[in-house]
Amino acid sequence: MKILYASQLSANDSAQYRAWALERLGHTVVRLNCLEYQPESALLRKVVHRAQMGPWLVRLNRDILAVAERERPDVFWADKLLGLWPETLDRLRVMGVASVSYMIDNAFGPRRDPGWRLYMKDIPHFDLHVVQRDKNIADYRERGARDVIKIQTAYEPTIHFPVEGPWSDRDRDRGVSFIGTSYDDRPAFLTRLWRECGFPVVISGDRMWKERLDAEAARALYTGSELYGREYREAIWRSKINLSFITHSNQDEFVHKSFEIAACGGFLLAERSAGHDARFVDGEEAVFFTGFEECAAKIRQYLPDEAARERVARAGRERAVRDGYSNDAQVAKIVERVGQLRRQ
C-alpha cells in the first residue's frame, strides 16, 4: 500500500519508528512532517497547541489534501495529530483514501491535557482509530467512531537491542535508573528511594525534574538531560536496575518504556499492572512492584544479585521478541485491519 503518513517526524519521535516499520513491511510511505507547520515562537506554539487554530493549521490541512491529490495514497495515517479538520478527512474519503488515527495519548483521561478541541470533532470522521487502552475503545465508540482497535506500544528493533559482547556490572555506572518524565508522584517516590533507603538513584529526563525535585535531590539524582536513540539504549545497558512506572494520570495499562528496556536486554523493575502482568512473567521475565515498600524490597533483593538480574533480563528480551512487542509486529496488526476495511 501507499501510505500518506502525517506526524511529528524527528529522530526523537516514536512516530518515526512506526513509519520505519511500515517501510520494513513493504509499504510505500509518503511523509508529511508536522513539525514544519508550527510557529517559530515557543510561546505561540503553546497557544496554537491549546487553541488548534491559526494559519499553520490552514496550511497543514491544505497540504495534506494537495499531497493526497498528487500521490494518490491508499491510506492516510495521522500519528498523534491534533490539527486536522473534519472536512479534510471527509475529502480524503471522497478521494478513496482510508484514514487511520494512531493515538497513544488519552484524549479522555483525567489529566485534562490541552489541545483536543479539533481531535474530538474528528473522531467520527476517521475510518479507524488505534488506541492502547480497553477503556478508550468504549470512549471512542460513544463519540461515534467507525472502528477502533487496541494495540500496545512497542520497541524499535533498530534502536532497542542488547549490547554485543561481554557486559557486566563493571560496565554499569547507573544503579537504580529512571529515564523519562516526572508525571504523577515519581519525583517524591524516587527521592524517597534515595533519601530513606540510600539507593544509588539516577534520573534522566526533561527539565521539569529540576522543578519537581527539591534542590538537594535534584543535585544528587538528576543528570540534566533527556536521552534518545543511542544514548537512551546505552543508559539502559549501563543500568543495574531500570525502573518503569505506569502513568496513572493517563490511565495507562502498560508503558512503551517497559518493552524498550526488555528489548535492550535491561533488567526491568516495573510497576505492577494488568497490562504488564499479561506481557511478562513476574520474577522470570521482569520484576513487578506495587507501592514504595515493595519497590524498595525488590531493589534490596536484586541490586546485589547480578546473576539473577542477568537471568531475568535475558528472559525478558526473549519474551519481547517471541511475542511480538516490536513496532513491526504491532504495526502489522494495524495494516491488517486497514486492509480489511478497504475490502469492505
Provide the Cα torsion 281, 286, 287, 292; round to 10°.
-120
For residues 64 and 76, the answer to whether their CB atoms sit within 8 Å is: yes
Best CA proximity match to 175, nearest among 193, 189, 163, 161: 193
pLDDT of residue 246: 93
User: Within 13 A of 183's CA, how many CA atoms are on the CB side?
Assistant: 16
Question: What is the model's pTM?
Answer: 0.93
Specify the fold of 169-322: Rossmann fold (3.40.50)
Instruction: List the strands of the sheet with 28-33, edge to edge.
Output: 28-33, 2-7, 75-79, 98-102, 128-131, 148-150
> Which residues have a Cβ under 8 Å from the Cβ of 277 and sit 6 or more positions away?
288
**Per-position pLDDT tens, the chain of length 344:** 999 999 999 888 899 999 999 999 999 999 999 999 988 888 888 888 888 888 999 999 999 999 999 999 999 999 999 999 999 999 999 999 999 999 999 989 887 788 899 999 999 999 999 999 999 999 999 999 999 999 999 999 999 999 998 999 999 999 999 999 999 999 999 999 999 999 999 999 999 999 999 999 999 999 988 999 999 999 999 999 999 999 888 888 899 999 999 999 999 999 999 999 999 999 999 999 999 999 999 999 999 999 999 999 999 999 999 999 999 999 999 999 999 988 77
* Topology alike, domains 2-153+326-343 and 169-322: yes
For residues 20 and 14, the answer to whether their CB atoms sit within 8 Å is: no
Best CA proximity match to 270, nearest among 236, 298, 229, 300: 298
Count the Cβ atoms, other than its own, within 10 Å of residue 62: 12
Specify the fold of 2-153+326-343: Rossmann fold (3.40.50)
For residues 176 and 303, the answer to whether their CB atoms sit within 8 Å is: yes
CA 93 remoteness from chain centre: 28
Mapped onto helix, strand or coil, the DSSP state of residue 269 is strand
**Cα dihedral sign, 125-128-130-134:** positive
Q: Please, which residues bridge with residue 33 across strands?
A: 7
Q: How far apart are CA 339 and CA 344, in angstroms?
A: 9
Q: How far apart are CA 32 and CA 68, in angstroms?
A: 11
Count the Cβ atoms, other than its own, within 10 Å of residue 57: 19
Place of cell 482509530: 129
Q: How far apart are CA 22 and CA 146, in angstroms?
A: 23
CA 172 remoteness from chain centre: 25
> In the chain, what are the domain boundaries?
2-153+326-343, 169-322
pLDDT of residue 44: 84
Q: State how beta strands 174-179 and 239-244 pair.
A: parallel
Longest dimension (CA), the chain: 62
Best CA proximity match to 101, nearest among 120, 76, 121, 69: 76
Helix 86-94 and helix 55-71: axis angle, to 10°? 10
